[in-house]
Structure 1
């Protein structure tokens, strides 16, 4: 969660809003290429955030200007665009609804891992990035998570901790192939068998009661 918040320079807005959702979307073709999108949605708190954006600080947090947020998104876009095998990189931010996103096309899952690692390294100086966030091999697509959120959560103030009670993480994975099974028991498989969705409460993920990890078995 911390990485995504940093990613969009909205960490203070996230910590001051009452509700937010992280939506991760991947469309995987049979040849291993595909599309990726990550969305940070704070629209349910837009009334409060509109007021916060007019302030310089609140509860000890500096409030970034719209220009600062746009500039940071541009920096992230440039970082991702430099990754070999990554194309059509786009970032956007909607200040009417407080929704920020980054999207791209990837040549293969390995290149997508490189792009995510590039952002991780840039935003977490001195920390080694996990080798893989995704894997695709012999009809199996896997979402991997080696990052522990619990220690970062403990360092937050009580006020900041409260907002995670209503925060959600949603993963939507779509495929050209047919889904035959998913390892995470919270997964919902679409009637078409071409997509899966995993929606979890952020606190359950932070306290490791539930996991974002998932292994999707595919058949042609």
Structure 2
């Protein structure tokens, strides 16, 4: 279960057992630099969470305190901040609405890959398939979201109560560009009217069970 939790980056929030949405946003400039933001939003369940956080355990799991959650997020921030090329690394957690955020600026897309690997290495040891999460090929003018590992087996090991967490959870990826979007390989992708952004929203369970994929190759044009 911990591998799934760390895939979402905020294991303590996962253990609170509630409906959530993950929003991944990348803004890519023409020179390959940009900004990254990841938001874990549990606001739809804040009434339930206000009750749960007062408990000691739920479904056999220890309920983390607000201090535990803040500590975990701070440790993630430290792991990301040590990545060369990244700057303005910030994390925040809003306990009124149960929203956690991490953001940073990058000089190269490859630095995001290094940051993801740093988090996995620190929190979960060696995990195959996290070496490359994003790619930007300036020659072909393409930005790619990559997923080379599966967590389906880990999901199968969860209790039914834990599995319910993912039933209504959503994962949304939003990619914004200075260049114009010409095409996207993932059929579920919506391209904005300005053709400067894409959005892909999927049910987390569909991703885990591999019915759908977060992988996407976005072709850009400067015209």
**Using the alignment, how far apart are the partners of 2:204 and 2:11 within structure 1?**
18
Shift of 1:58: 1.7
In the alignment, which residue of structure 2 is the partner of 1:61? Answer: 61
Deviation at 1:2, TM superposition (A): 2.9
Deviation at 1:124, TM superposition (A): 1.7
Distance 1:8 1:102, change over 3 A: farther
Gaps of 5+ in 2: none
Please give the root-mean-square deviation of Cα atoms over the aligned residues, in Å. 1.2
1:7 is aligned to 2:10: yes
- Residue equivalent to 1:115: 115
Normalised by the length of structure 1, the TM-score is 0.95
SS in 1 for 2:15: helix
Name the counterpart of 2:211: 209
- Residues of 2 paired with 1:206 and 1:10: CA distance? 18
Q: 1:2 to 1:71 in 2, by over 3 A?
A: closer
Which SS does the other structure have where 2:181 is aligned? strand
Give how far 1:123 is off.
2.1
Is this contact kept in 2: 1:120–1:129, CA < 8 A? no
Match of 1:170 in 2: 172
The aligned residue for residue 145 of structure 1 is 147
Pairs aligned (count) = 217
TM-score (norm 2): 0.94
Write the distance in 1 (CA, Å) between the matches of 2:35 and 2:126: 29
Contact 1:177 1:219 in 2 (8 A): yes
Displacement, 1:9? 2.4
Alpha-carbon distance between aligned partners in 2 of 1:59 and 1:203, rounded to the nearest angstrom: 19
1:192 pairs with one of 191, 194, 200: 194
Structure 2 residue aligned with 1:23: 23
Q: Do the aligned residues in 1 keep the contact of 2:120 with 2:126 (CA within 8 Å)? A: no
Greater CA deviation, 128-137 or 175-184?
A: 128-137
| Cα distance in structure 2, aligned partners of 1:214 and 1:128 | 20
161-170 vs 29-38, which deviates more?
A: 161-170
Report the CA distance between 1:6 and its aligned residue. 4.7
> Which runs of 4 or more aligned residues in structure 1 lie more than 4 Å from their structure 2 counterparts after TM superposition?
none
